[in-house]
């Protein structure tokens, strides 16, 4: 490693909120503990609660990274674009604020990109606790399948994740660096110059399928996606959630945001509204139901009967509250964008340095 790479790192890590704020410390500390390869870091803080805000300000001073804050919540691609606009390095790593990395993860991603000329490189992504044991994504497929029957042409979305739910110990011998068709925004490294061809990330995709859209755009302009399984990270979803996570979580996985995202994907890629979309529409709100409603209902008295009754009541309350939250957010967001004080990005007056 030469001195130029140390003073002018090839990689900028952009950390953004995924669905909660309560895992901020564990995730950020893993980056600084496990990353020997030089990097710059930009942390995008979209409206975190006061104790997280204070922690990030302290860490920005201590570790000399750039902190961008808005006083309103951010959709993931909006947050990523705020960071991406500040990037001038060869590579950008997008990583969510609930991801834990392992030693050597970044150097291995860079080696893969340098040796294969890959546009996008995905580590082996695991899920949940215990850390680094259960696979979430080991590459996959994305694209559009065109089917013609007589005079009818159907354009179907291709989205497939490999090895999800398998144990790393079982499949590790089978995995090798290889070209693939899918990477996920939990953690991916992207060659920055690609955005000169495809533009910024699509902010009309508010909460789902952003990774599919990016991989399809990369393929459309002749870029490549690689899996590098020697780089290992884990994303740690809730529950449990802190009470200060609930508002953002409910907005992040709101029916309105998901429905808008699916319609944007459909229209952008001229997709047929087939069973794929119909099934997605039927399952709107499943994350809130699984993480919040079901968790609360199980604590109800009178056994299963009590749980079912409470679950139905909470489900109806959730629908009303969810509509209120999305409407309230839209008004606050527009006010923030129009008000130079509340919409102002707080950048720490610090130079980014290596980890």
Q: What is the pLDDT along the chain (355 residues), one digit of tens a residue?
A: 554 555 689 999 999 999 999 999 999 999 999 999 999 999 999 999 999 999 999 999 999 999 999 999 999 999 999 999 999 999 999 999 999 999 999 999 999 999 999 999 999 999 999 999 999 999 999 999 999 988 899 999 999 999 999 999 999 999 999 999 999 999 999 999 999 999 999 999 999 999 999 999 999 999 999 999 999 999 999 888 999 999 999 999 999 999 999 999 999 999 999 999 999 999 999 999 988 888 777 776 767 776 777 778 888 888 888 888 888 877 766 665 544 333 334 444 333 333 4
Four-CA torsion 29, 34, 40, 43, nearest 10 degrees? -30
Residues 6+ apart with CB under 8 A from 60: 43, 66, 67, 348, 350
DSSP single-letter state for residue 128: S
What pLDDT score does 354 carry? 37
CA 245 – CA 243 distance, rounded (Å):
5
Residue given tokens 């660096």 in the structure block: 177
What pLDDT score does 355 carry? 40
pTM for the whole thing? 0.90
Closest among 243, 246, 238 to 325, alpha carbons compared: 246
CA 61 – CA 57 distance, rounded (Å):
6
CA 171 – CA 135 distance, rounded (Å):
9
What pLDDT score does 311 carry? 76
CA 97 – CA 27 distance, rounded (Å):
6
- CA-based torsion, 35, 129, 257, 25: positive or negative: negative
Closest among 27, 24, 234 to 130, alpha carbons compared: 234
How far apart, in Å, do the first and last CA atoms of the chain sit? 14
Residue given tokens 């390869």 in the structure block: 37
Report which secondary-structure segment, H or E, holds 105: helix 105-116
Q: How many CB atoms lie within 10 A of CB 59?
A: 20
Backbone angles phi, psi at 273, to 5 degrees: -80, 85
Backbone angles phi, psi at 69, to 5 degrees: -125, 140
Residue 256 in contact with residue 323, Cβ under 8 Å?
A: yes
What pLDDT score does 240 carry? 82
Q: Write the burial class of residue 288 (CB in 10 Å: 0-12 exposed, 13-18 middle, 19+ buried).
A: buried
Q: How far is CA 331 from CA 170, 175, 318, in A?
A: 49, 48, 20
Q: How far is CA 97 from CA 46, 190, 194, 237, 246, in A?
A: 11, 18, 24, 10, 16
CA 343 – CA 287 distance, rounded (Å):
29
User: Which residues, listed in sequence order, are joined to residue 16 by a DSSP beta bridge?
Assistant: 96
What is the token pair recorded at 93?
């790593």
Most distant CA pair in the chain, distance? 67
- CA-based torsion, 198, 204, 210, 212: positive or negative: negative
Closest among 91, 37, 39, 96 to 63, alpha carbons compared: 39
CA 324 – CA 312 distance, rounded (Å):
19
CA 85 – CA 72 distance, rounded (Å):
19
CA 211 – CA 190 distance, rounded (Å):
12
CA 153 – CA 122 distance, rounded (Å):
33
Q: How far is CA 25 from CA 7, 19, 182, 217, 233, in A?
A: 26, 15, 28, 33, 16
């Amino acid at each position: 490693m030469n001195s130029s790479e140390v003073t002018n790192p090839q990689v900028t890590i952009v950390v953004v909120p995924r669905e909660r704020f309560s895992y901020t410390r564990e995730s950020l500390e893993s980056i600084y503990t496990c990353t020997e390869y030089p990097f710059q870091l930009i942390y995008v803080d979209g409206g975190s609660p006061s104790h997280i805000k204070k922690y990030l300000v302290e860490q920005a001073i201590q570790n000399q990274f750039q902190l961008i804050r808005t006083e309103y919540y951010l959709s993931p691609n909006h947050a990523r674009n705020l960071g991406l606009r500040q990037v001038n390095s060869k590579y950008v790593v997008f990583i969510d604020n609930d991801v834990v990395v392992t030693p050597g993860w970044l150097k291995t991603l860079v080696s893969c990109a340098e040796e294969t000329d890959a546009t996008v490189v995905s580590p082996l992504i695991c899920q949940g606790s215990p850390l680094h044991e259960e696979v979430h994504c080991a590459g996959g497929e994305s694209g559009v399948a065109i089917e013609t029957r007589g005079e009818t042409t159907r354009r179907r979305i291709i989205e497939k994740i490999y090895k999800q739910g398998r144990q790393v110990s079982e499949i590790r011998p089978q995995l090798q660096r290889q070209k693939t068709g899918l990477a996920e925004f939990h953690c991916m490294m992207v060659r920055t110059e690609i955005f000169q061809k495809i533009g910024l990330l699509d902010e009309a995709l508010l909460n789902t399928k952003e990774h599919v859209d990016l991989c399809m755009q990369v393929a459309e302009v002749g870029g490549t996606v690689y899996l590098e399984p020697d780089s290992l990270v884990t994303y740690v979803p809730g529950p449990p959630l802190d009470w200060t996570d609930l508002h953002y979580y409910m907005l992040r996985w709101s029916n309105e945001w998901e429905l808008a995202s699916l319609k944007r994907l459909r229209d952008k890629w001229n997709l047929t509204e087939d069973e794929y979309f119909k099934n997605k529409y039927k399952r709107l709100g499943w994350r809130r139901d699984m993480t919040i409603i079901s968790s609360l209902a199980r604590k109800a008295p009178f056994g299963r009967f009590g749980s079912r009754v409470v679950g139905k009541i909470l489900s109806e309350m959730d629908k009303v509250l969810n509509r209120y939250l999305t409407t309230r957010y839209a008004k606050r967001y527009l006010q923030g964008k129009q008000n130079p004080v509340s919409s102002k990005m707080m950048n720490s007056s610090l130079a980014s340095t290596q980890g």
